[in-house]
Amino acid sequence: MPSIIAEVRANRAAILCLLGLAASAACAAAPPHTLAKPDLGPNVFIFDPAMPPNAMQAQIDKIYAQQQHSEFGAGRYALLFLPGEYHLDVPVGFYTQVLGLGATPDSVHITGNVHADASLPRNNATCTFWRAAEGFSVTPTGGTMQWAVSQAVPFRRMHVHGNLVLHQQHGWASGGWMSDTLVDGNVDSGTQQQWISRNSDWASWTGANWNMVFVGIPHPPAGEWPQPPYTKVAQTPIVREKPFLEVDAKGNWSVRLPALRTNSVGITWRSGSTPGRSIALSHFYIARPDRDTASSINAQLARGKDLLLTPGIYDLAEPIRISRANTVVMGLGFATLHPTHGTAAITTADADGIEIAGILLDAGEQRSPVLLEVGPQGSNASHAKNPITLHDVFFRIGGAGVGRAQVNLRINSHDTIVDHTWIWRADHGSGVGWTSNTSDNGLVVNADRVTIYGLFVEHHQQFQVLWNGNYGRTYFYQSEIPYDPPDQPSYTSAPGTNGWASYKVADSVTHHEAWGLGVYSVFRHPNVVLSRAIEVPRTPGVHFHHMMTIALDDKGEISNVINDQGGPTSIHPRTTPRVADYP
C-alpha cells in the first residue's frame, strides 16, 4: 500500500509541475517518466483536479467570453480534463471542444453545469453550431443539463447523471447528434426540429417534431411514425466509435481506436473501457497552425506518423495526402483546413482503415474541385473488414468569407462509413450569395456499400447528395435546399423539372436504402419551386422509409416528397407532406 500511495503522489506532483502549479525544486525531483505532457499548442487547456477551482473557472469563463457569439471568428479551443472530480460551470461556445481524458466517461466527473445555450435572441438555438462535449460525466445542478444545439455539435461518450434537455425554454433548435451516451433520467428533445441518436441509452425520451431517428437504441421511445415521427432501427449494422485521447494512471497519453462493431445495440463502455486498441501519442505528429503547412504535414505522414491537428486554422497551398493504411487523422477544437490555391484540403489513398475525425473543412476563395476526396476516382478495393471511417467531419462554403467548391465530400472507396457530418453552404455570414459562395454538390458517392449515420447537407446549388454507388445506406438525413435561387431558370436540373432534388440516387443504381429523411425549403425569391425533394429510380432494390417535407417560408413549394409521391407543401394552411415507404 505505501508504494501505491507514493506512486499516486508522484504522478500528481508531475502533473502539477507540467501545468506550472508547483515550485521548480519540486519539479526537478519529480520522476521524469510519470507524465510526458505533449505540446498541444496555446489553444488547448489541460485541467487537473488538483488545480484551484477558481483558476480553472476563470480560464473557462475567459474562453467563453470570447467564443459565445463568435460564429465566424478565428478562435479555436479544446478544454481537456484529466481523470478526477471537478466542481465547475462549463459553458460551451463556438469552436470549443470539451473532452474527458479517461478510459470511460465516468473517469472524469463534473458536478455543476456543462451547457450549450441558444446563440440568438428569444431562446433560438438554430445557429448554435460547432461545439462538442465528449468523454466525461456530468451531475448537473438542479438535475437537468441543457444542451440547446443545432448542426455540427457532437455529443459523444457522455454520461449524464440526471436529465438532458435539447432546447432552451422551448425556443427553436435544429440539431443534432448523440452517440455512445448514457442519460440516467429523461431526454427531452422539445422543439428540436430533428435529431439522430445512435447507440445510446436513457431512462426515458420525450418530445418529437419532424424527424427523429433512433439507431441501435435499447430503449427507444414508444410510438410509431408518423405520429410521433419516430424512425427506429433496432441495430446499428456496422460502425466504429470515434477515436479519443486517453491518459492512464501513469500519465501516459494515447489515442484509443474503438473496435469495429456489427449489429450493435447500446453503448461501448457499459462493462468498462471501450473495446479496441491504443496508439501512443508519440506516434502522432502534433501539428500547429502557426508553424505547419501542408508540405510539413505531408512529410510527417510519409514517415509513417499519424496526425493530430491542434486547434486553429490551417491555410493549405496543397492537399494533405493520406496514403498509408490505418492512418489516423484527428482534430482538436474544430481544427479548420482552409485551401488557398483551389485544391482539395484532404485526399486519401484507397487503403484500409483510414480514420479521419474532428475537423472542419472551410472552402477558400479559389474554387476547389473537391474539399475531401476518399480514395481516388476509380478505386475498386474492398474494405469490408477494415473500412475507412469519417467521424464529425464538417464542411463550410462561405460564412467566414467567400468560399467556393464544386463538390465538398466525394467518396470513391468502397465500404466507407461516415459517422456524422454537416455539409453546409452558408445562408448567412460574409461572402454569401448565389454567385459568391458557389457549390454544386455537398456529397457525391461513387463507391459501393457506403454507410452514413447523421447526414446533414444544406443549401448547395445542384443535388445536395448525388449517390452513384450501389448498396448505399443512410440513417437520418436533414437538408434545407438553397434559399437563394434568384429565379426558376437559374434553378432547373432538366427540361420539365424544377430545381435539383435534394437527395438524388442515380438511375444506374439498383440497390439503396435510407431511413428518416426531412427536406425543407426557405425560398427567398418568388416563383421558385422544387419538383421533388428525393429522386430515385423505381426498382425493387431501392427502398426509402419515413420521409417528410416542409416549407418554412411563404414563397415557393416542394411539389412532391419522392418522385411523384407525397404532394406539395403549402403555408396557408401549413401542410407537411409525408411518405411512409417507397416504393
What is the C-alpha to C-alpha distance for residues 86 and 67, in angstroms, rounded to an integer? 22
From the list 480, 513, 535, 557, the catalytic residue is 480
* Global pTM value: 0.94
Question: What's the confidence (pLDDT) of residue 36?
Answer: 62
What does the pLDDT read at residue 37?
83
Any residues with CB less than 8 A from the CB of 34 and at least 6 apart, and which? Answer: 10, 11, 13, 14, 250, 251
Residues of the chain with pLDDT under 50: 1-35
pLDDT per residue as tens digits for the range 297-343? 999 999 999 999 999 999 999 999 999 999 999 999 999 999 999 99
> Are 507 and 535 in contact, with CB atoms under 8 Å apart?
no
Beta-strand relationship, 346-348 and 194-198: unpaired
Span 284-451: which CATH code?
2.160.20.10
> Which pLDDT score is estimated for 104?
98
- Give ∠ CA 378-380-384 in degrees, rounded to 5: 140
Q: What pLDDT, on a 0 to 100 scale, did the predictor assign at position 60?
A: 98
CATH dotted code for 38-239: 2.160.20.10
pLDDT tens digit string along 253-310? Answer: 999 999 999 999 999 999 999 999 999 999 999 999 999 999 999 999 999 999 999 9
Give me the numbers of helices (H) and strands (E) for the chain, helices first please. Answer: 4, 44
DSSP 170: T
Within 8 A by CB and 6+ apart from 254, the residues are: 245, 246, 247, 248, 278, 279, 280, 281
Q: Residue 572's pLDDT is what?
A: 82
Give the SS3 label for residue 214: strand
Domain map of the chain by residue range? 1-36, 38-239, 284-451
Looking at 359-464, list the stretches that DSSP marks H as alpha helix, in order from N- to C-terminal side: none
* Stated length of the chain: 583
pLDDT of residue 18: 40
Q: Are 399 and 439 in contact (CB under 8 A)?
A: no
Helices (H), 181-228: none
- Do the two domains 38-239 and 284-451 of this chain adopt the same fold? yes
Rounded distance between C-alpha atoms, residue 104 and residue 101, angstroms: 8
Does 557 qualify as catalytic in the annotation? no
